[in-house]
Structure 1
Amino acid sequence: MTLSVSVRQAVGPEDAARRNTQGLRDGFVIEGLFRPGEVNLTYSHLDRMIVGGVAPTDKNLEIGHVAETGTDSFLERREAAVINIGGAGTVSVGGRDHSLGFQEAIYIGMGEGALGFASDDPATPALFYILSAPAHRTCPTVHITREMARKVHLGSAEESNHRTINQYVHPDVCESCQLLVGLTMFEPGSVWNTMPAHVHDRRMEVYLYFGMAAATRIFHFMGEPGETRHVVLKNHEAVLSPGWSIHSGAGTGRYAFIWAMAGDNMSFTDMDKVPMDALR
């Protein structure tokens, strides 16, 4: 089994403003998450968030020990959430199996033991997207369907941002220490996410874009409001967002994205909105 971990150091706003396109990608973009038969993790020094992808085929995959956490087992001092964006599969938590269909999730509490991953059919493998943050207490492990998620309807067709936010890991759905995780879906013809933009200095965020055709691209905007930059992303690429950065994007075609946050405040509405005339 292949388990690879890359480490991303924190990047400050002055550094980001001076980077070229490849420099921005090196600091913030996560590629190659779902390579068949592999576990790929990125350890970010932004609130110690771990972002990962697991794509089991004919063999089961496992996350037990990850040296970068400094603990004997992966979840010894961490919580995690897993969302399946592929075919049906199974997540094993401490030896207990949980079946996850497309866009179903599981929140996993601290200390739950090793994680195992399997696809029901190797021809249509599961794609398990993993978010993990440090935890200080154990919360119950919960299987979360999209129907269970808290729904927030925002935007309009006139503004090209008519969307539904499905809040999976949220205080109204399940307990967690600091993770907040959700999935945003768009109505046909709407392409803009998170605009007007905002920042939230009390927590970081990460987006995973998915559900895109091969030729579709996301123009993801980042940076301080008065010093914005952009990166161009394709299907199954993720982007890290520090607390000082906006995080917004527009697609050339239909897409969805999974967002996750970790930090001081678990209130979803804790954000500092940026007036449009402040963007540069």
Structure 2
Amino acid sequence: MQNINNVTEFILFGLIQNEEMQKICFLIFSLFYLVIVLGNLLIIVTIPFSFRLKSPMYFFLRYLSFVDICYSSVTAPQMIADFLIEKKTISFIGCIAQLFGVHFFGCTEIFILTVIAYDRYIAICKPLHYTTIMTKRVCGQMVAASWLGGFMHSLVQTLATTQRPFCGPNEIDHYFCDVHPLIRLACTDTYIVGIIVVANSGMIALGSFVILVVSYIVILTSLRSHSSEGRRKALSTCASHITVVILFFGPCTFTYIHPSGDFSEDKAVAVFYTVIAPMLNPLIYTLRNEEMKNAMRKLWSRKITVRDKTKM
């Protein structure tokens, strides 16, 4: 790599170029990132302290919140800092590390969302076998498989990119290092790499999305035989997950399933799955979930009671 690479750092164009808008975006995205961290941390802390939130769905939701924090932290802090910097640079190693992190946590989130859909399918379509199928061991294995799958996917993407020679230019028309903008800068033919990227990233996103759609069609069909109360509760839970899936998979699939084109368009779409979706996930899962809201109220009241006792 040292013999064929003349590039030691990359220059990022950032999300926008207008200086006045950059200052406004700095405030807006700083608030967004704060909501992402605090909102997902609240879910991570609440679930272990509630006896009502011991089902596999909340086990997966806790990991989803953790992945959301990690995923947004790979890109958001640098994007926010770059709003105040004229020359937005990132080292070659830092760029590759960011590329690896984006695909590692992004793909892991895709697999965890798919696992949650499977959990909902078993809970609604096979309720009598739910406890025997979704054991703690099985849930742990599913989460481990999601992390492993994300790691393998990211490793393929990173190796496919770093094996290309970079001899200049070094300007990336994006606000973070991603595969499409990077391989465009390679001083060699990238047709095969482009196919690998679409086959790997695009097909994982599209394939998982199709599985999710089919699973929820089966779930919604089976709800006709449930009572009105059971149907209402199941629809409430599924609606939250479907909303999260659409917010994350729609933009993600659009970005990685089509060939490299207008990156200004890709940047706008990427904001949805790197910032907006991780920010809305905790809001969606808490505001539409009575069990989560009740658990948070009890945890908050418990802390107030303990604090009052210590003062006395």
Structures share fold, TM-score greater than 0.5: no
Indicate the structure whose relative CO is greater, using CA pairs within 8 Å and at least 6 residues apart. 2
TM-score by length of 1: 0.25
Structure having the higher Rg: 2
More helix by share: 2
TM-score by length of 2: 0.23
